[in-house]
Amino acid sequence: MQDFQDIFESGKRRRITRRHALFTFAYSLLLSTTLFSCSPTQNNTQQQADSSISNVASSGISDKVIRIVRSKQLTALAVLEQKGILAERLKPLGYRVEWPEFAAGPQQLEALNTGALDIASTAESPPIFSQAAGASLVYLAANSSDGKAVSLLVPTNSKIKNISDLKGKKIAFQKASIGHYLTVRALEKEGLKLSDIESVSLPPPDANVAFSQGKVDAWFIWEPFVTRNVQNKTGRVLIDGGNGLRDSSNFFSTNRKFYQENPEVIKVFLEELQKAQNWAKNNPKQIAQLLAKTTQLDSPTLEVMHSKYDFTLIPITEKIIKKQQEVADKWYSLGLIPKKVNVRDGFLTPEQYAKITPQEVLAKK
């Protein structure tokens, strides 16, 4: 996890720099006010300051921020950002929305833990690794698995025909990601173990380069990397996460502090997310057109990708919690997390979920 810590240490340094700038500005303002208090123009200065504060308040400028991960995939999060729907809903609550971008789920969870991100969208494994590291994580909502949107790529001219052929080969994936988990699942289905292959842990951009240069024999990755490599004829799909290979859910998560301080904001977020899910599911052509620029893929290609997603928020049930515990136990048994994790520590009570989850989603129980 050292790579991720280095990434986010630099992020913390940037935030410290911004805080220092704000402190300097505030101190200068305080100093100037003190100096002016010795001047005959004190009353005029105070009136101007009061007027400025009043103007800022009446302008509707939000002084609070919610940071939601930017999705460059074909997801409802991307719809929310591109349409600006959530931003409009949160303005009356005094919030503005920022959309920071991260390489993959593990980097999101690092940012969540350091306060650089408020809502993450990941597969099942990053939250578990985060909990194992002692983070105070909260699972806000579950999402459809979208198994077909995650695929194991091999080079187009590779002689590899099945998973068994990968024994002794180099397989790239982002550590603690869905690619990592599905590599384990795919190998076990063939009676193999992680130790039977050479694991190459790389974030998606670096893995993309390694794969295109033939430095790895296979790569378990998600969209739009899959489609781009197939279109460029650098890769072909050996298997995908569909047909029972993927047996877990995606999750939206936050940290405990943000959940406790912003339940109303979270409720609004999930309401608008559900609406965006429904719209995306029912408007494949429109979502393709909307996201063509963001994904740098043409609309017909995006429509093909669209068919790989379910666009469905699902209620968090005992079944989902138990499945997440099974995944946590799997990572512990492989020695990839340092301690046993009780995933339930990150889940809310049914009563708490009832307060933030859209009624349409709750009705699916």
Q: At residue 15, does pLDDT exceed 70?
A: no
Distance CA 218, CA 240 (A): 13
3-state helix, strand, coil in the chain (%, to 5): 55, 15, 30
Residue 36's pLDDT is what?
A: 30
Q: What is the mean pLDDT of residues 31-50?
A: 36
Locate 51 and state its tokens.
Answer: 């007027």
Within 8 A by CB and 6+ apart from 11, the residues are 111, 114, 116
Compare 9 and 319 and report the one with higher pLDDT: 319
Residue recorded with tokens 């050479």:
198
Residue 22's pLDDT is what?
A: 36
Residue 75's pLDDT is what?
A: 87
Rounded mean pLDDT of the chain? 85
Q: At residue 122, does pLDDT exceed 50?
A: yes
Residue recorded with tokens 């909260």:
138
Backbone phi and psi for residue 212, each to the nearest 5 degrees, phi listed first: -65, -25
Name the nearest CA neighbour of 105 among 69, 141, 140, 150.
69
Locate 69 and state its tokens.
Answer: 């991960």
Residue 61's pLDDT is what?
A: 52
* Cβ burial, residue 21 (10 Å; 0-12/13-18/19+): exposed
Which residue type occupies 4?
F
**In the chain, what percentage of residues exceed pLDDT 90?**
76
Distance CA 107, CA 81 (A): 20
Q: What is the mean pLDDT of residues 288-293?
A: 90
Residue 225's pLDDT is what?
A: 93
Residue 297's pLDDT is what?
A: 85
Q: At residue 335, does pLDDT exceed 90?
A: yes
Residue 243's pLDDT is what?
A: 84
Q: What is the mean pLDDT of residues 282-289?
A: 93
Q: Residue 143 — pLDDT band, cuts 50, 70, 90?
A: very high
Residue 364's pLDDT is what?
A: 87
User: H/E/C letters for each residue in 81-142?
Assistant: HHHCHHHHHHHHHCEEEECCCCCCHHHHHHHHHHCCCCEEEECCHHHHHHHHCCCCEEEEEE
In 190-306, which residue ranges form alpha helices assigned H by DSSP? 204-212, 225-231, 256-261, 263-282, 284-295, 299-306
Distance CA 67, CA 116 (A): 7
Least confident range of 61-70, 83-92, 113-122: 61-70
Residue 74's pLDDT is what?
A: 76
Within 8 A by CB and 6+ apart from 137, the residues are 109, 112, 113, 127, 130, 131, 253, 254, 255, 256, 346
Q: Residue 26 — pLDDT band, cuts 50, 70, 90?
A: very low
Residue 232's pLDDT is what?
A: 92
Locate 9 and state its tokens.
Answer: 């240490």
Residue 62's pLDDT is what?
A: 55
Least confident range of 206-210, 249-253, 270-274, 289-293: 289-293
Give the DSSP letter of residue 153.
Answer: E
pLDDT in tens, 47-86: 433 433 333 333 445 579 999 999 877 789 999 999 999 9
Residue 48's pLDDT is what?
A: 38
Residue 72's pLDDT is what?
A: 74
pLDDT in tens, 153-194: 999 999 999 999 999 999 999 999 999 999 999 999 999 999
Distance CA 312, CA 6 (A): 35
* Domains, the chain, ordered by start: 64-144+248-362 (3.40.190.10), 147-240 (3.40.190.10)
Distance CA 335, CA 343 (A): 17
Distance CA 79, CA 286 (A): 10
Q: At residue 326, does pLDDT exceed 60?
A: yes
Q: At residue 9, does pLDDT exceed 50?
A: no
Residue 44's pLDDT is what?
A: 41
